[in-house]
């Protein structure tokens, strides 16, 4: 995981790097650091905790130079301490290195170095890289880096500076993302474009096995074989940087409020003809892959295909897909869902599916991502950048693309009558408007959370598509507020979990299928009879059926579509619970926005 940035230009590097790191903080925020190369020596500062700690620690008079590298960390190997923060120096501070990824053979490499009298000062897997480059250096930094890279197993994006070359930054990529940016005032490397897009006009995404040498005026690309390669830039124009909405306290809150716009933009961009062509091909089965919220969005496609088309699909948590013996026969269309397009488990799962010959479509929010490049076709969600760690607007947008895709399949496969299809399409088009109505619930949810913020646990309940929505509600609450939470099919409650219902515990019921309201209302009654509290999100038409402590009515819509709307009150619920418990709603503990390690 982690974010790396490098700069060679005409501005003070420390300022540029700190700006880049702030943009990349969503990739990890356990520690951060910078190394500045002034041509004769390397300046280093690194600190555990948020970037503000680093900023405070940097002595502006010492951090002089227009070339450097920076890092923001999500700890994998070694605790979140100053010592384990990047960059790492080699012996005698000749090289400084930042790393994103995991060096899987670092213990063997540390032994190799130890036998030669070089000992590590940190608990990380990354530090060995700086020492190896130093070990192999015989007068040429590029050659030494290429030689060191040969010894590394695992995944890595690296940034390297040294005392040997003035104004030169190296960037290296294998299985962890890295882009080059070209701007008016200098050149960059960065884990992804969001770190540098404001200052760059053009970018190039490094392929695996490439190394770039940047100076303020020149960018040269090489393969791991040392041969120089030609490459061409793409324009960064049109890339959207998320800004806090005026008056909003956090990215998460702004991003929840942006759900309706994201839905509208995403529906509008749906490439109907392209998807019709894709789905008219030979498809024997559908298989979905995703992690976290993206997996929960995939489940909504599963429900829609089952309920609307009578077609069974398989939905996998990507890391589980990797553990199973997956049978690629029967012409599967694999659909990979990911906000970032950089999630390592999802990328690996796609590689596995492709190696079995499967065609892969992705649903992704970042066009310039590794996932989009890897897949045969892409449905891009139009949310702009999502900065809060919790997926909000992107979950809703993934859902709407997938639901539209299910309707396209219903159409071309003749699984649905024309009139019915027209009705569903009309209902889908109304979702952004209905989402806007749900946004009006913000004040009410804030009041509810003031009363239930001390809940010991919250169980999210639902049936069918509402159960899938419940899974997302539960994930959101636990990741942001650290309140213990699980999702259960309502009918499953009496098979064990009811034992946990008591005062101080809440059930959060989602019931949007009129055929299931009565059953769900009984589940609420059973919960309340044991002293637990109840919150119910239902259709407007069902208001009054549920004897809940707090009732939240959302606009009526076909029940397989309703997760696009019910997610909004659940997102507000998590946000306000977290806020009133004093949690950081944008950067919850132990997490990062982009999970780029398996
Ligand atoms: O970028 P991706 O959509 O692939 O990320 C997948 C998950 O890591 C992500 O959805 C995570 O579960 C969110 N923090 C949930 O809010």
Q: How far is the CA of 365 from the centre of ligand 1 (A)?
A: 12
Same domain, 194 and 266: no
Tell me, yes or no, whether 314 and 285 share the same domain: yes
- Where does a domain end: 429, 448, 472? 429
Q: Are residues 73 and 121 in the same domain?
A: yes
Whether 68 and 180 map to the same domain: the answer is: yes
Atom of ligand 1 lying closest to residue 339 CA: 3
Residues 338, 404, single domain; the answer is: yes
On whether both 216 and 92 belong to a single domain, the answer is yes
Q: Looking at the CA of residue 343, tell me the nearest atom of ligand 1.
A: 4
Determine which residue's CA is closest to atom 7 belonging to ligand 1.
292
Give the predicted TM-score (pTM) of the model: 0.83
Per-residue pLDDT in tens (0 to 9) along the chain, 598 residues: 689 999 999 999 999 999 999 988 888 889 999 999 988 899 999 999 999 999 999 998 999 999 999 999 998 889 999 999 999 999 999 999 999 999 999 999 999 999 999 999 999 999 999 999 999 999 999 999 999 999 999 999 999 999 999 899 999 999 888 999 999 999 999 998 878 888 898 999 999 999 999 999 999 999 999 999 999 998 876 555 444 454 567 999 999 999 999 999 999 999 999 999 999 999 999 999 999 999 999 999 999 999 999 999 999 999 999 999 999 999 999 999 999 998 999 999 999 999 999 999 999 999 888 899 999 999 999 999 898 999 999 999 999 999 999 999 999 999 999 999 999 999 999 999 999 999 999 999 999 999 999 999 999 999 999 999 999 999 999 999 999 999 999 999 999 999 999 999 999 999 999 999 999 999 999 999 999 999 999 998 887 889 999 999 999 999 999 999 999 999 999 999 999 999 999 999 989 888 877 7
Distance 339 CA to ligand 1 centre (A): 7
Q: What is the spatial distance between Cα 12 and Cα 200, in angstroms, rounded to a whole number?
A: 16
Task: Point out the domain boundary residue: 400, 429, 458.
Answer: 429
Matching residue, tokens 């024309």: 418
Q: Give me the number of domains the chain comprises.
A: 3
Ligand 1 atom having least distance to the Cα of 290: 4
Q: For 361, left (φ over 0), alpha (ψ -120 to 50), or beta?
A: beta
What is the C-alpha separation between 564 and 395, in angstroms, rounded? 8
**Which burial class, exposed, middle or buried, applies to 581 when counting CB atoms under 10 A from its CB (0-12, 13-18, 19+)?**
middle
Q: Report, in this order, helix, strand and coil percent for the chain, each rounded to 5.
A: 40, 25, 35
Is residue 474, in this structure, part of any structural domain at all?
A: yes
- List all residues whose CB is within 6 A of at least one atom of ligand 1: 291-294, 338-340, 343, 346, 389-391, 475, 479, 594-595
Give dist(CA 177, CA 2) in Å, integer: 11
Is 417 in the same domain as 496?
no
Is the C-alpha dihedral spanning 448, 452, 453, 455 positive or negative? negative
Could you tell me the maximum CA-CA distance found in the chain, to the nearest angstrom? 79
Let me know whether 424 and 444 are in one domain: no
C-alpha to C-alpha distance for 452 and 474, rounded to whole angstroms: 15
Residue 496's alpha-carbon distances to 370, 392, 464, 493, 501, in angstroms, are: 43, 31, 19, 6, 10
CATH code of the domain in which 82 resides? 3.60.20.10
Ligand 1 midpoint to CA 346 (Å): 10
* Distance from the Cα of residue 555 to its chain's centroid: 29
Q: Which of 2, 364, 557, 567 is catalytic?
A: 2
Q: Does some domain include residue 596? A: no
Q: Is 375 a catalytic residue?
A: no
Q: What is the CATH number of the domain that holds 470?
A: 3.40.50.10490
Q: Closest Cα partner for 330 from 272, 287, 297?
A: 287
Of 26, 27, 192, 292, the residue with max ligand 1 atoms within 8 A of its CB, to mutate for a pocket test, comes to: 292
Q: Which of 1, 290, 291 to mutate to test the pocket of ligand 1 (most atoms within 8 A of CB)?
A: 291
Active site residue 2: yes
If asked whether residues 267 and 132 sit together in one domain, one would say no
Q: Where are the alpha helices (DSSP H) in 230-343?
A: 251-257, 259-268, 272-280, 292-304, 318-321
Q: Which domain holds residue 262?
A: 245-429
Same domain, 122 and 271: no
* 324 Cα to the center of ligand 1, angstroms: 21
Which residue's CA is minimally distant from atom 14 of ligand 1? 390
Which atom of ligand 1 has the smallest separation from the CA of 394? 3
Tell me if residue 549 falls in helix, strand or coil.
Answer: coil
Q: Are residues 155 and 269 in the same domain?
A: no
Atom in ligand 1 nearest the alpha carbon of residue 591: 14
């Amino acid at each position: 995981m982690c974010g790396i940035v490098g700069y060679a230009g005409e501005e003070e590097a420390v300022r540029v790097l700190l700006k880049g790191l702030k943009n990349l903080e969503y990739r990890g925020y356990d520690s951060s650091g910078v190394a500045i190369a002034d041509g004769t020596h390397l300046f280093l500062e690194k600190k555990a905790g948020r970037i503000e700690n680093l900023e405070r620690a940097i002595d502006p008079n010492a951090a002089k130079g227009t070339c450097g590298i920076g890092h923001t960390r999500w700890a994998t190997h070694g605790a979140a301490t100053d010592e384990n923060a990047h960059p790492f120096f080699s012996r005698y501070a000749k090289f400084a290195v930042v790393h994103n990824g995991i060096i899987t053979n670092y213990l063997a490499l540390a032994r190799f170095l130890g036998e030669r009298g070089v000992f590590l000062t940190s608990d990380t897997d990354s530090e060995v890289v700086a020492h190896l480059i130093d070990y192999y250096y015989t007068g040429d930094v590029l050659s030494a880096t290429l030689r060191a890279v040969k010894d590394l197993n695992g995944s890595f994006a690296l940034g390297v500076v040294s005392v040997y070359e003035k104004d030169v930054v190296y960037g290296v990529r294998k299985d962890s993302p890295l882009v080059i940016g070209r701007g008016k005032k200098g050149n960059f490397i960065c884990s992804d474009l969001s770190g540098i897009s404001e200052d760059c006009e053009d970018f190039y995404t490094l392929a695996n096995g490439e190394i770039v040498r940047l100076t303020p005026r020149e960018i040269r690309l090489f393969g791991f074989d040392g041969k120089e390669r030609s490459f061409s830039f793409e324009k960064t124009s049109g890339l959207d940087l998320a800004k806090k909405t005026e008056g909003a306290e956090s990215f998460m809150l702004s991003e929840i409020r942006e759900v309706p716009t994201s839905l509208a933009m995403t529906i509008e961009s749906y490439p109907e003809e392209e998807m019709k062509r894709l789905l008219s091909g030979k498809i024997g089965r559908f298989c979905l892959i995703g992690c976290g919220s993206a997996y929960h969005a995939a489940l909504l496609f599963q429900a829609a295909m089952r309920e609307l088309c009578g077609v069974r699909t398989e939905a996998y948590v990507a890391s589980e897909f990797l553990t199973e013996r997956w049978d690629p026969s029967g012409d599967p269309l694999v659909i990979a869902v990911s906000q970032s397009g950089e999630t390592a488990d999802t990328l690996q799962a796609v590689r596995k599916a492709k190696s079995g010959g499967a065609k892969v479509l992705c649903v992704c929010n970042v066009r310039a991502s590794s996932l989009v490049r890897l897949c045969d076709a892409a449905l891009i969600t139009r949310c702009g950048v999502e900065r809060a760690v919790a997926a909000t607007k992107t979950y809703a947008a993934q859902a709407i693309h997938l639901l539209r895709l299910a309707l396209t399949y219903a159409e071309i496969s003749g699984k649905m009558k024309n009139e019915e299809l027209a009705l569903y399409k009309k209902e889908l088009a109304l979702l952004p408007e209905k989402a806007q109505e749900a946004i009006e619930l913000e004040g009410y949810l804030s009041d509810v959370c003031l009363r239930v913020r001390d809940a010991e646990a919250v169980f999210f309940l639902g049936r069918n598509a509402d159960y899938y929505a419940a899974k997302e509600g539960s994930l959101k609450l636990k990741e942001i507020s650290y309140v213990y939470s699980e999702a259960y099919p309502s009918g499953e409650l009496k098979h064990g979990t009811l034992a946990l219902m008591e005062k101080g515990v809440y059930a959060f019921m989602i019931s949007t299928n009129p055929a299931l309201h009565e059953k769900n209302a009984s589940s609420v009654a059973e919960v309340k009879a044991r002293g637990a509290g109840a919150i119910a999100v239902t259709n407007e038409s069902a208001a009054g059926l549920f004897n809940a402590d707090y009732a939240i009515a959302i606009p009526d819509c076909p029940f397989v579509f309703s997760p696009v709307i019910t997610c909004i009150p659940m997102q507000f619920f998590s946000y306000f619970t977290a806020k009133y418990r004093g949690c950081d709603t944008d950067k919850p503990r132990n997490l990062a926005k982009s999970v780029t390690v398996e």
